[in-house]
Amino acid sequence: MRATADRLRHGAKQRAAKAAEARRIQELQAFAPREAETWRDVVALIEEKKPASYDKAVALLLKLRDLAEYQGRMADFQTQVVGLQERYANRPALRDRLQRARLV
């Protein structure tokens, strides 16, 4: 009886994981058409020079990273992030947030 319960629990966990992954893929596909706009939003947020705006920019960058990973375009993503890092090298608060998020 215990083995049956364990097997049922394991099956339920697998179904939940598959459903979560399907939702994530659906969200990424819906997000993809807004990629260029999101990059512009990231730059606009960074230009505000506010800690809260940096946090929002990093959150968007994490979504862009997930999209790049899904699309197999991580090299392009990394190139753009390095460009941002170079362009805004004089902003240590941004650099720290990028490092904490493991974006650089």
DSSP 2-22: HHHHHHHHHHHHHHHHHHHHH
Of the pLDDT bands very low, low, confident and very high (cuts 50, 70, 90), residue 85 is: very high
Distance (Å, whole) CA 2 – CA 103: 44
Distance (Å, whole) CA 74 – CA 64: 10
Look at residue 91 in the predicted model and tell me its pLDDT.
94
| pTM above threshold 0.85 | no
Domain count, the chain: 1
Which domain does 37 fall in, by range?
2-100
Instruction: Give yes or no for a contact between 30 and 15, defined as CB atoms under 8 angstroms apart.
Output: no
pLDDT tens digits for 10-38?
888 888 889 998 999 999 999 999 999 99
Instruction: Give yes or no for a contact between 101 and 61, defined as CB atoms under 8 angstroms apart.
Output: yes
